[in-house]
Structure 1
Amino acid sequence: MKNFLKNNKQAFIGGIITTFLIALGVFLLGNISGYEAKKLIATSMQGFNMLCNTIVLASATILALLLTLLGISTGTETKLKKRHYQQVLSIAKFDTILFISALILFQFFNIPITEAENVETSWFKYIYWATLFSSSIISGMMVTTVLMLYRTVANIIAIVGLKKENHQLLDTDGED
């Protein structure tokens, strides 16, 4: 886990910055009453569902494209270090967590809570804040995934496309 965070430090910084910027925007909304929150939930739920759908679709697409990346990695005459494949595995793991999280959030917030009559009005502000903070977290996770993927793709382009002979992921001595 320590190596995972160390190797993907820039991607995580980008994701954390995104999460905090969105959360800051949410925080600046200020305190709202339960009745206001109920109205805001009803109007914002379509956008939240669209965000979750988009992230589910994007993360599933990224997982499928990782197979193409692996095909390019193994199909080249140059030999890559195990670290490259560990990068791809890290992206796949993180992307799978993102996929499952967005799918669960989509299902959870797809419950027509604003139509329920036995839910106290005071609960709606907590549900509203949970929705906003959840969206900021999965947005930050998506940015992290894309930055991790960018780094891996840039490495492959440098090795395979630009034939960079002294790249850190190129296995020239049979090392790992």
Structure 2
Amino acid sequence: MAIGTFVLGEISGYQARELLTTSLSGINMLCNTVILGASTILALMLTLLSLSRAAESQINKTHYRHVLAIAKADTILIIVAIITFMLFNLPITESREVPNAWFSTIYYVSLGMAAVIGGGFIAVITMLYGTIANVILIVGLRVTDHPLVDNENEEQETER
């Protein structure tokens, strides 16, 4: 977003109003996509938890802390996307009461919010990938020397 803004250069209030008018539909679509995707991720994490719990290997608490961190980030992302969606659905570009000088600030804020939402979604997806990769290694491939496998129970059973 910063590179795109740099390429466009400094814009006046009227130019910002025109650019804002054309970019608002894309920002609203981004918000809708992120809300839908993040909500789906949050719901599917329940399946991840039940799979982790049912695993024959004992997964330690660090795994659950990772899942909790993903859930927190995902929830924050949903809230930010909903607030952004609601703010940018106000018909601000239609209003004649808003001075043209404000539109450049509003335009840059909208680009910043889109960048935060897009970056947040990428971060959640990346965190989720790492967690799923670990579950596949532990549950599917039965890797026992993984850092997330709790070997204390196995050691106690071996001693008996």
What TM-score results when the alignment is normalised by the length of structure 2? 0.93
Report the residue type matching 1:38 in the other structure. R
1:152 paired residue number = 131
- Name the counterpart of 2:157: none
How far has the Cα of 1:23 moved from its partner? 2.2
% same residue:
50
Unaligned runs of 5+ in 1: 1-21
Find the partner of 1:132 among 111, 120, 131: 111
Q: Distance in 1 between matches of 2:44 and 2:2?
A: 30
1:77 aligns with 2:36: no
Distance across 1 between alignment mates of 2:104 and 2:40: 34
Gapped regions of structure 2 (runs ≥ 5): 155-160
Q: 1:101 aligns with which of 80, 83, 87?
A: 80
Larger radius of gyration: 2
Q: Quick one: which of 33, 37, 44 aligns to 1:65?
A: 44
* Per-residue Cα deviation, 1:1-23 (whole angstroms, up to 9, x for no partner): xxxxxxxxxxxxxxxxxxxxx22
Give the length in aligned residue pairs.
154
> Aligned-pair distance for 1:26?
2.0
Aligned alpha-carbon RMSD (Å): 1.2
Deviation, structure 1 residue 130: 0.5
* Distance across 2 between alignment mates of 1:131 and 1:174: 52
1:118 aligns with 2:97: yes
> 1:120 deviation in Å?
0.3
1:48-80: per-residue Cα shift (whole Å, max 9, x none)?
100000011111011001101001001112111
Letter in 2 for 1:39: E
- Residue aligning to 2:35: 56
Q: What's the TM-score, normalizing by structure 1?
A: 0.85
Tell me how far apart the structure 2 counterparts of residues 72 and 169 of structure 1 sit (CA, whole Å). Answer: 15
